[in-house]
Amino acid sequence: MSTAAKRATVYFDPAIHKALKLKSIETSKSISDLVNMAVKESLAEDAEDISAYEKRVNESLISFSEMVKRLKKDGRI
């Protein structure tokens, strides 16, 4: 089942808008298509981050200072 596209107003910095227009021309894709693809990629990255977090949620935490001490002890810094 296909859903109709929703309309939204987005305000771009003028330089970003110009870059989008140029990329739109060069790729024969609409600005809407380019923005939709970028948002989908960003959401996919978020989903990967959430998945990685969920896999590690039960790991013990270490403070920054403890990590620095370990690195120094191991000769890494």
Does residue 8 sit within a domain?
Answer: no
Answer whether residue 7 is part of any domain. Answer: no
pLDDT at residue 2 tops 90? no
Q: What's the pTM?
A: 0.71
Exposed, middle or buried: residue 60 (CB in 10 Å: 0-12, 13-18, 19+)? exposed
What is the mean pLDDT of the segment spanning 54-69?
A: 94
Residue numbers of the domain that contains 49: 14-73
User: In this structure, is residue 24 part of a structural domain?
Assistant: yes
pLDDT at residue 3, rounded to an integer: 83
Summarize the confidence of residues 60-71 as an average pLDDT. 95
Total number of domains constituting the chain = 1
